[in-house]
Amino acid sequence: MTTSSGGTSDGQWFPASWPDRIRALANGDLTPVTPRRAATVLLLRDSPDGTSDGPAVHMLRRRASMAFAGGAYAYPGGGVDPRDEKPVRWAGPSLEQWSAALGVDPVSAQAVVCAAVRETFEESGVLLAGPDGDSVVADTTGESWEADREALVSRELSFADFLARRELVLRSDLLGPWARWITPEFEERRYDTWFFVAMMPAGQRTLDVSGEADHTVWLRPAEAVEGYRRGEMVMMPPTIATLRALLPYDSVKAALAGAAGRDLTPVLARAVLEEGRIVLSWPGHEEFTKHIPQGSEQGPISSQGAAE
């Protein structure tokens, strides 16, 4: 299967620029970019008929023209806005508890959680906030909501000011920390990304409003994993890995409960030279290992391990 960004034998996103950048990094000719803090949300909903065959997750297909991960399936998310550190009305675990869970100071913890909630609203129209700590906004459709969403996207409006103007409380208790991945050192655009799971609020619905996506879909994790295995859905390693981690759970409630015990040690790819070739690996995720021949030309790229 071939994408606009590179090639892959399954659904793993692999840009054509990586081999040369990996060689440059190994030779000391490339200075890694400092990763930007980011957050992304696996928005989940149970089957409406009450069956127990697992929750569905909301996914976006990034436009092929996007500089980062074009054509790949992902979740709503994006970079932290420095203004995400501004104080907001808060419900759920304290900032100190979030600080311990996310492995950062309390101010940064708030910024990451705010970014997760803000980006979910910006890219899907779903808002994890309510008039108080026990409720959630029931409907985010309409002209005034859309005007605010667009103002957030354009950065004309900070998330703190948006919540204050509407007298809303951020519901951090609706989020569960799921994983943390850092973009490889050889990438041009790097992100230190926290992944969260969240329940789709009752009464709200996802909107196809993301300017970065050309397609949205609700899929059960097993369906998305199978699409990746067949090479029909292109995904980055953290996307497919976080999807697979959902497979054991038969409900959103169970997944949220499971988030409490998740290991958030950052996963960072590493590239080493072994016997005349570059070996690219993600510690703890051996299936994504790539073997890249040394030399001036890229040559064939092989994967170690099958995508299950």
Query: Is 273 inside a domain boundary?
Result: no
Domain with 141 in it: 32-262
- Residue 39: what pLDDT? 98
Query: Is 278 inside a domain boundary?
Result: no
3-class DSSP assignment, residue 165: helix
Query: Is 164 inside a domain boundary?
Result: yes
CATH number of the domain to which 155 belongs = 3.90.79.10
Longest CA–CA span in the chain (Å) reads 61
Query: Is 128 inside a domain boundary?
Result: yes
- Residue 2: what pLDDT? 32
The 169-171 sheet, strands edge to edge = 90-91, 169-171, 129-130
Q: Which two tokens stand for residue 255?
A: 């997944």
pLDDT in tens, the chain (308 residues): 333 334 344 556 666 777 788 878 877 888 888 999 999 999 999 976 655 678 999 999 876 555 555 678 999 999 999 999 999 999 999 999 999 999 999 999 999 999 999 999 999 999 999 999 999 999 999 999 999 999 999 999 999 999 999 999 999 999 999 999 998 888 888 899 999 999 999 889 998 766 666 788 999 999 999 999 888 888 889 999 999 999 999 999 999 999 998 999 999 988 877 777 778 888 888 888 888 776 534 433 333 332 22
Query: Is 190 inside a domain boundary?
Result: yes
- Residue 72: what pLDDT? 84
Least Cα distance to 76 among 239, 258, 259, 223 occurs for 239
- Residue 136: what pLDDT? 96
Query: Is 75 inside a domain boundary?
Result: yes
DSSP the chain: -B-SSBB-SSSB--BTTHHHHHHHHHTT--PPPPPEEEEEEEEEE--TT---S--EEEEEEEPTT-TTTTT-EE-SEEEPPGGGGS---EESS-HHHHHHHHTS-HHHHHHHHHHHHHHHHHHHS---EESSTT---S---SHHHHHHHHHHHTTSS-HHHHHHHTT-EEEGGGEEEEEEEE--TT-SS-EEEEEEEEEPPTT-------TTEEEEEEE-HHHHHHHHHTTSS-B-HHHHHHHHTTTT-SSHHHHHHHHTT---PPEE-EEEEETTEEEEEETTEEEEEEEEE-SSS----EESS---
Query: Is 69 inside a domain boundary?
Result: yes
Query: Is 87 inside a domain boundary?
Result: yes
Domain count, the chain: 1
